[in-house]
């Protein structure tokens, strides 16, 4: 799915800023993995990232700003269409990413906001 530059920037801005790193170049995704602004869509790079639909399109989600976030491409692939619980695939170890599979769940506040938007039971 193609995203606008505005959607790309909004998703990036939700990723966690890290002290000592330029927030316009590097951040961490919701799973704790490093991502690099310049590596958007780069599945051949350790810092590649994509835009995730937190509530999957397959289940009725769309490009509402509340539903988009930046995820390392491996975490996005691992998450797939799972919601609210999903498997993360990588996370940061110092200044690099390492494989570290573990279950995660979208936080309750975000689930509530998405439920209000998409009328999730």
Q: What are the boundaries of each domain within the chain?
A: 5-118
Average pLDDT across the chain, whole number = 98
Q: List, for residues 82-98, the tens digit of each pLDDT value.
A: 999 999 999 999 999 99
Q: How far is CA 91 from the centre of its chain?
A: 12
As given in the structure block, the two tokens for residue 90 are 């990588």
Confidence of residue 1 (pLDDT cuts 50, 70, 90): low
Give the pLDDT band of residue 106 (cuts 50, 70, 90). Answer: very high
CA atoms within a 13 Å half-sphere pointing along the CA-CB vector of 113:
10
Assign 18 a pLDDT band (cuts: 50, 70, 90): very high
Asked whether the predicted pLDDT for residue 44 surpasses 80, the reply is yes
Q: Which residues contact 112 (CB under 8 A, 6 or more apart)?
A: none
State mean pLDDT over 13-39. 99
**Left (φ > 0), alpha (ψ -120 to 50) or beta: where does 76 sit?**
alpha
């Amino acid at each position: 799915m193609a995203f606008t530059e505005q959607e790309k920037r909004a998703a990036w801005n939700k990723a966690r800023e890290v002290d000592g790193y330029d927030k316009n170049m590097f951040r961490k995704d919701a799973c704790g993995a490093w991502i690099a602004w310049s590596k958007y869509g780069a599945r051949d790079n350790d810092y590649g990232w994509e835009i995730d639909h937190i509530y999957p399109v397959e289940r009725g989600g769309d490009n509402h700003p509340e539903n988009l976030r930046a995820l390392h491409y491996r975490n996005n692939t691992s998450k797939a269409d799972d919601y609210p619980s999903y498997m993360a695939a990588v996370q940061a170890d110092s200044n690099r990413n390492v494989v570290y599979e573990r279950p995660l769940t979208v936080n309750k506040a975000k689930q509530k906001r998405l439920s209000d938007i998409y009328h999730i039971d």
